[in-house]
């Protein structure tokens, strides 16, 4: 069963978001590299920035395969994180790391859930791109070290709550403004669901070592925000921080 | 004939400079991407930034192969372009592009000349890394378009003269501070020069399409600056600008 034109348009709508988020991750990681505390951090963050460019371009290749126009697909999300960035200006290196970890964590989880409604090829690509956990590992290693100090921990826990509130605000606006994303979240199954079980198995295997991707199911707004909040709590717990 | 420990130390000294310059190119291109006038430019500049990271890491791999410590080799050149950057703050997008084209052009030419004194493997790597002309192509295409306006051309020609002066100042400081680089510039031939002729042939072939690498010969300071200035003039002419 092939995707309908409407389903393809929705797929391009989500791929555009993923590409824009990867591009913003590049910009953010490059800026972080410029102010990183050690040369080792500078090298590592620049590598993560370069990897984000490659992930973005893989997603844009898929947009092109589906007959979409990469720049148009990304332009739907111009400024998507401007409010988030303006309201979450970090004041320390750790706050900076936590901002990416939490902010992109929520955005990635949202894309992962919406990916459940994609065709198999697009879904596998999105899940693979989002499962690249290198940046998470860096943030966790650094924040673990910071987290041994109780005062720092308390401040970061507070910062995390602020971040997740703002990140959920971004998701709220996306859900209101982009009906294609809502259709993907609500899709009962992928159009070529015959191969779905295998794909889901492969995904589960792949993501076991990184972020566990939840099985896509019908999403009410309440359920969506519940899932995103649960994932956020899991992430904060991994750092030994109170969500 | 294998390289002596002193020759290897000199090689690491040059490789550290190339790696530092590629890292700075990454930072610069990423910053340019953030202020680029169109989404297409943002994508293209981010790709160039990512490519610079990969070139840097290939050079750092070679440092490691030679028994050097990547971070130590790069640290020799911490802040190497700080003065240059502070004195050449571009005021337009074209000035920004020309800054990278001229500034990195001079630095790359210097490294190319010094590479003549390296062992074959390191030399081939440095020349290959420096011959990656994608950024040059972008700058030339953009500046060509800008250069059709006489007033813009005149301003850019003036800007180019300022840039080359500052860039030669950077080279001057390098020559004074890093004796290993001077030894490489002065090296009569590579230590394993038996294979030198083949390598030089391959280089000439490879670089014909990009920046012509001049054959390494004994370098007096006057000769060095003469060569760098000649290359700069060639680059400006390529843009239709007066050097």
Note which residues in 32-71 of chain B have CB less than 8 A from chain A: 33-34, 39-40, 42-43, 46-47, 49-50, 53-54, 56-57, 60, 70-71
Least confident window among A24-33, A48-57, A139-148, B221-230: A139-148
* Per-residue pLDDT tens listing for chain B (243 residues): 578 999 999 999 999 999 999 999 999 999 999 988 899 999 999 999 999 999 999 999 999 999 999 999 999 999 999 999 999 999 988 898 889 889 889 999 999 999 999 999 999 999 999 987 666 777 778 777 766 678 888 889 999 999 999 999 999 999 999 999 999 999 865 545 444 444 444 444 444 444 444 444 455 778 899 999 999 999 898 888 888
DSSP state at residue B215:
P
pLDDT of residue A202 exceeding 60, the answer is no
pLDDT band, residue A133 (cuts 50/70/90): low
**pLDDT at residue A239 in the model:** 84
> What's chain B's Rg over C-alpha atoms?
17
Contacts (Cβ under 8 Å, ≥6 apart) of B174: B17, B80, B110, B181
> Cα-atom radius of gyration of chain A, to the nearest Å?
17
A211 touches A133 (CB < 8 A): yes
Tokens, residue B220: 């007096």
Q: What are the tokens at A154?
A: 């308390």
Q: Which two tokens stand for residue B43?
A: 């994508």
User: Could you read off the pLDDT of A93-108 as tens digits, one per residue?
Assistant: 889 888 988 988 999 9
Which residues fall within 8 angstroms of residue B197, CB to CB, at 6 or more apart? none
pLDDT at residue number B143: 76
Q: Can you give the pLDDT at residue B208?
A: 40
For position B145, what pLDDT does the model report?
Answer: 73
* Confidence check: pLDDT of A55 > 70: yes
**B contacts of A27 (beta carbons < 8 Å):** 30, 33-34, 46
Q: Do B33 and A43 touch (CB under 8 A)?
A: no
φ and ψ at B113, to 5 degrees? -65, -45
């Amino acid at each position: 069963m092939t995707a309908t034109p409407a389903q393809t348009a929705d797929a391009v709508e989500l791929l555009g978001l993923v590409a824009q988020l990867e591009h913003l991750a590049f910009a953010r990681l490059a800026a972080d590299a410029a102010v990183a505390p050690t040369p080792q951090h500078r090298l590592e963050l620049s590598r993560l920035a370069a990897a984000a460019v490659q992930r973005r371009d893989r997603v844009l290749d898929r947009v092109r395969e589906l007959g979409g126009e990469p720049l148009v697909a990304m332009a739907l999300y111009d400024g998507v994180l401007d409010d988030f960035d303006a309201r979450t200006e970090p004041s320390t290196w750790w706050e900076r790391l936590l901002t990416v970890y939490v902010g992109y964590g929520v955005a990635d989880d949202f894309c992962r859930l919406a990916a459940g409604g994609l065709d198999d090829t697009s879904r596998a690509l999105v899940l693979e791109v989002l499962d690249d956990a290198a940046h998470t590992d860096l943030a966790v290693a650094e924040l673990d070290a910071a987290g041994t100090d109780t005062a720092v921990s308390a401040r970061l826990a507070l910062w995390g709550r602020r971040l997740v509130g703002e990140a959920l605000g971004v998701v709220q606006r996306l859900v209101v403004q982009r009906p294609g994303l809502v259709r993907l979240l609500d899709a009962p199954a992928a159009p070529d669901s015959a191969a779905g079980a295998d794909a889901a198995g492969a995904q589960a295997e792949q993501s076991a070592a990184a972020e566990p991707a939840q099985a896509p199911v019908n999403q009410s707004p309440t359920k969506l925000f519940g899932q995103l909040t649960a994932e956020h709590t899991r992430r904060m717990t991994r750092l030994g921080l109170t969500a």
